[in-house]
Structures are given as C-alpha cells and as structure tokens.
C-alpha cells in the first residue's frame, strides 16, 4: 500500500509538472503565432522588394533610353547606369537575406510543432497512468473492507507510546508461545518415558492417571498456544494497520509540506501578501496596456514599475531611457499619461465586458497645440472603434472639432439650460 500511495504521489507530481509544461507549451504556441506574423511581414517585405527591383529595372531602361536619346555617347550616362546597377544588386541582396530569414522561421515552426506534439502525447500517457492508479486504489480498498474510514481514523489516533506498547506485547506473546512449545515438548517426552517405564499391567492405574494428567496438560498447552496464536494474529494485524497508518501519516506530512511551501510563498500574518502580489500582477498588465496607448499619444515616454512595490516611474526615451518620477512631468504630459492609463484600464476591462462609453472631464486646457492634436486623434480612434467618447471642456479648439455637442448655458439664479446640437 505504501508503495502504491508513493506511486500516486509521484504521478500527481508528474501531472503538476505536466500542467507547467502545458503552460510552457502555450507560451511556445504564442511564439509560433508571433513567428508566423513575422514570416508574413517578411513575405510582404519580400514582395515589396521584388516589386522595387522590377520598378528599378524599368527605371534603368527608361533612363538608359532617355540618356541615349539626349546625350548619345556622353560619359555621364555610364555613371547613371552604374548607379542603377548598384541599386539593383543591393535590392537582390536584400531579397536573398529575406529568403534566408524566412527559411529559418519555417525551420523553427517545424521544430516547435514537433515539441508540441510530443508534449501532448506525454500528457495523454500520464493521464492514462493516473486512471490505472485510481483503479488499483479502488481494488485495494475492496480487498481490505475491514479498514473502513472509521477504522483508519482510529488507527490515526494511536501515538508512538501506544505503538511501542503493542510491540512489547507482541514480543511477550512470542516468548510465551515459545515457552508453551518447549513445555509441550517436555510433557510429550515425560509421557513417552512413563509409557516405557510402566509397561506392566499391574501399574495400569498409575499409567492411566499419568496419561490423563498428561492429556490435561497437553490440552492446557494447546489452549495456551491457540490463545497465543490469536494474540499473534491480532498483533500482526495491528502491525499491518500501523504500517498503513504510518504511510498515511507520511502522506499527511507531505501534504502539510506542500501547503507550508504555498504559505511561505503567498501567506503572511497580515493576510496582504497575496493581495499585493495580485495587485502587482494587475499593475504590470495595466502598464502594458497603458504603454500601448501612450505610444500613440507621446512617443517620448514609457511607463515602468519602480520606486515601490506598486509605484510607477516614467522612462524618457529621448534621454537614454532615463527613469524619472511621474511628478517631474509637466501638466500636459501628466494629462496624456493619465489618459493613457485610463485607456489601458478600459482595454483590460474589455476582456470580460464591453465598455462602449468613455467620459473625460477637463485637463485639455493644459495641453499645447501638438499635444492637444494627439489627444484628439486618440479620441477619434476610440470613436472609430465603436465607443462613445464624451468630453467636458471649455477649450475652443475642441468645440470646433467635436460635431455633436451638449451645451450648458447659465440663466442666473442657479438655473441653466441644455442645448443639443452641432
């Protein structure tokens, strides 16, 4: 049983490792898709280069004809022809490099596909072995019906002192059994001696009494042997149960160690360690989505985690990727970064629900004309994606660009009117 449960534990560990390999397989699949996209890009580039080569060839012929007609045998035409030939040769080299890169990517795709197939086969094999182990465990429980859940729970309550006491009782039982065997052997020898010594019929009464006494002692010895055998069988059963109990204790200890490792990774006395890890993970996702939006708003800056566990820094790409505090940004730059974070948060939420409306309150007045143009272009892009974008602003340039407007006009005495129009 101990060996079987160890095999189950090993198989469970293998399944856990297989789960990790599936995650790695998913990452490989993402790499394959990325390589496919790069392959399509290179093919597109290769086509463009081929078209460029054809165009350059046509330009070369046209140039040669034009120069021949205009200059005749003038040396300047040879210079132009040499330059065109150099350009064609360079284009051919570029095309050759692209073809080699395409071949390498195709080789990588074949290799990744083979690894994926091998991992799937290994996963199927492990799942089949796990099913076989489940069947073996069920068969073992069927062969030991006396060890139900109540009996196993009772055995688990035995401490080391009780187990040691059972071992001492077993040793005493073994010794008593050996003594009974020796006593029975002595009685048999004495009986044989009496039978040989008192063979005369005149002492038949004494022999009968001695024989009766020997039979009684033999029956008593047999009864003692039977009792000792029963105790020995019970002790052996307890030994087996103790072995199974020890195996269950070892399994429970292994389970405790697994939970202890998990607690050391994500547990804390305050209960906030796992929450901080989850917050840091979500912050990484938010920074990723926000940087995707920030590239369209201002190419100079990128967001990066730093300063603290949940802090943010700004990376200045025009200053050698220098990291700065977000507080060092100007008002307009701060607005663009905040807008990128808001759009990134909307992108994260769009994976589980669709956000069709977005409202932005002020902040546009602190932007220079170029930054204002970038912000308006980004909002136009969101509107083109089917989202409704509402802007609350007093900037006149935005009033001129927004076709549909809701104007609020003061009437005095705390009253206002709303006008919808262009």
Question: The domain containing residue 330 runs over which residues?
Answer: 274-421
When pLDDT is averaged across residues 78-100 and rounded to a whole number, the result is: 76
Could you tell me if 134 and 48 lie in one domain? yes
Residue 155 has pLDDT above 80, yes or no: no
Could you tell me if 241 and 375 lie in one domain? no
Could you tell me if 237 and 288 lie in one domain? no
Could you tell me if 62 and 119 lie in one domain? yes
- pLDDT of 409 reads 84
pLDDT in tens, 250-297: 888 888 787 777 666 665 556 566 677 777 788 888 899 889 888 877
Residue 323 has pLDDT above 80, yes or no: yes
- Domain end residue (candidates: 97, 120, 143): 143
- Domain end residue (candidates: 232, 250, 266): 266
* End-to-end Cα, the chain, rounded Å: 82
Residue 75 has pLDDT above 70, yes or no: no
Could you tell me if 238 and 284 lie in one domain? no
Residue 313 has pLDDT above 80, yes or no: yes
- Domain end residue (candidates: 96, 117, 143): 143
CB 245 within 8 A of CB 156: yes
When pLDDT is averaged across residues 333-362 and rounded to a whole number, the result is: 74
Q: Residue 152 has which token pair?
A: 């196993």
Q: Which among 336, 333, 391 has a CA at the least distance from the CA of 358? A: 391
pLDDT in tens, 368-410: 787 777 777 777 777 776 777 788 888 787 778 788 888 888 8
414: left (phi over 0), alpha (psi -120 to 50) or beta: left
Could you tell me if 310 and 408 lie in one domain? yes
- pLDDT of 25 reads 74
- Secondary structure in 3-state letters for the chain: CHHHHHHHHHHHHHHHHHHHHHHHHHHHHHHHHHHHHHHHHHHHHHHHHHHHHHHHHHHHHHHHHHHHHHHCCCCHHHHHHHHHHHHHHHHHHHHHHHHHHHHHHHHHHHHHHHHHHHHHHHHHHHHHHHHHHHHHHHHHHHHCCCCCHHHHHHHHCCCHHHHHHHHHHHHHHHHHHHHHHHHHHHHHHHHHHHHHHCCCHHHHHHHHHHHHHHHHHHHHHHHHHHHHHHHHHHHHHHHHHHHHHHHHHHHHHHHHHHHHHHHHHHCCCCCCHHHHHHHHHHHHHHHHHHHHHHHHHCCCEEEEECCCCCCEEEEEHHHCCEEEEHHHCCHHHHHHHHHHHHHHHHHHHCCCCCCCEEEEECCHHHCCHHHHHHHHHHHHHHHHCCCEEEEECCCHHHHHHCCCEEEEEEEECCEEEEEEEC
Could you tell me if 308 and 387 lie in one domain? yes
List the single range of 2-16, 91-105, 125-139 with lowest mean pLDDT: 2-16
- pLDDT of 74 reads 44
Q: Residue 230 has which token pair?
A: 């029963």
How large is the angle between the packed helices 2-71 and 204-266, nearest 10 degrees?
30
Residue 198 has pLDDT above 80, yes or no: no
- The total domain count for the chain is 3
Nearest-angstrom CA–CA distance, 174 and 177? 5
Could you tell me if 22 and 64 lie in one domain? yes
When pLDDT is averaged across residues 54-70 and rounded to a whole number, the result is: 70
Question: Residue length, the chain?
Answer: 422
- pLDDT of 241 reads 82
Nearest-angstrom CA–CA distance, 393 and 363? 8
Q: What is the CATH number of the domain that holds 401?
A: 3.40.50.300
Nearest-angstrom CA–CA distance, 231 and 209? 33
The position carrying tokens 């045998």 is: 73
For residue 177, what pLDDT band results from cuts at 50, 70 and 90? Answer: confident
For residue 201, what pLDDT band results from cuts at 50, 70 and 90? Answer: very low
Residue 300 has pLDDT above 80, yes or no: yes
List the single range of 44-53, 238-247, 283-292, 308-317 with lowest mean pLDDT: 44-53
Could you tell me if 280 and 350 lie in one domain? yes
Nearest-angstrom CA–CA distance, 340 and 117? 41
pLDDT in tens, 349-363: 666 666 667 777 766
List the single range of 122-131, 184-193, 356-365, 411-420 with lowest mean pLDDT: 356-365
Nearest-angstrom CA–CA distance, 392 and 408? 11
Q: pLDDT: is 11 or 104 the higher one? A: 104
Q: pLDDT: is 331 or 77 the higher one? A: 331
Could you tell me if 36 and 154 lie in one domain? no
Q: What's the chain's average pLDDT? A: 75
- pLDDT of 10 reads 72
Could you tell me if 280 and 305 lie in one domain? yes
List the single range of 15-29, 116-130, 187-201, 207-221 with lowest mean pLDDT: 187-201
Q: pLDDT: is 144 or 236 the higher one? A: 236
- pLDDT of 13 reads 72
Could you tell me if 303 and 413 lie in one domain? yes
Burial class (CB in 10 A: 0-12, 13-18, 19+), 344: buried
pLDDT in tens, 26-47: 777 777 777 778 778 777 877 7
Residue 79 has pLDDT above 80, yes or no: no
Nearest-angstrom CA–CA distance, 372 and 402? 13
- pLDDT of 245 reads 82
When pLDDT is averaged across residues 332-338 and rounded to a whole number, the result is: 79
């Amino acid at each position: 049983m101990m060996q079987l449960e160890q095999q189950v534990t090993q198989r469970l560990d293998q399944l856990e490792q297989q789960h990790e390999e599936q995650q790695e397989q998913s990452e490989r699949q993402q790499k394959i898709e990325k390589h496919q996209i790069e392959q399509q890009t290179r093919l597109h580039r290769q086509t463009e280069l081929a078209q460029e080569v054809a165009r350059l060839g046509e330009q070369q012929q046209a140039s040669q004809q034009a120069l021949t007609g205009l200059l005749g045998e003038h040396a300047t035409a040879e210079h132009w022809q040499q330059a065109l030939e150099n350009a064609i040769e360079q284009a051919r080299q570029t095309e050759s490099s692209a073809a080699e890169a395409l071949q390498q990517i195709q080789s990588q795709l074949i290799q990744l596909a083979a690894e994926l197939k091998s991992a799937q086969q290994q996963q199927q094999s492990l799942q089949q072995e796990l099913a076989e182990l489940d069947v073996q465990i069920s068969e073992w429980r069927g062969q030991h019906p006396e060890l139900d859940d109540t009996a196993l729970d009772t055995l688990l309550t035995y401490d080391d002192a009780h187990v040691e006491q059972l071992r001492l009782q077993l040793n005493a039982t073994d010794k008593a059994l050996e003594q009974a065997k020796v006593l029975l052997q002595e009685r048999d020898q004495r009986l044989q001696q009496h039978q040989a010594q008192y063979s005369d019929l005149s002492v038949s009464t004494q022999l009968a009494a001695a024989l009766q006494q020997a039979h009684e002692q033999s029956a008593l010895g047999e009864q003692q042997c039977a009792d000792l055998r029963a105790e020995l069988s019970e002790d052996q059963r307890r030994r087996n149960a103790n072995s199974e109990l020890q195996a269950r204790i070892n399994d429970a200890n292994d389970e405790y160690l697994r939970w202890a490792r998990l607690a050391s990774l994500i547990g804390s006395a305050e209960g906030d360690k796992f929450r901080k890890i989850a917050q840091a993970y979500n912050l990484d996702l938010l920074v990723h989505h926000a940087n995707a939006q920030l590239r369209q708003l201002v190419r100079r800056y990128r967001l990066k985690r730093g300063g603290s566990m949940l802090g943010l820094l700004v990376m200045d790409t025009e200053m050698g990727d220098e990291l700065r505090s977000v507080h060092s940004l100007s008002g307009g730059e701060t607005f663009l970064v905040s807008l990128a974070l808001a759009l990134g948060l909307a992108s994260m939420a769009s994976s589980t629900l669709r956000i069709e409306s977005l409202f932005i309150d002020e902040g546009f007045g602190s932007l220079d004309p170029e930054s204002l143009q970038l912000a308006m272009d980004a909002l136009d892009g969101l509107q083109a994606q089917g989202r409704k974008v509402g802007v609350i602003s007093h900037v006149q340039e935005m009033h001129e660009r927004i076709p549909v407007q809701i104007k609020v006009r003061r009437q005095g005495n705390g009253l206002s009117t709303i006008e919808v129009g262009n």
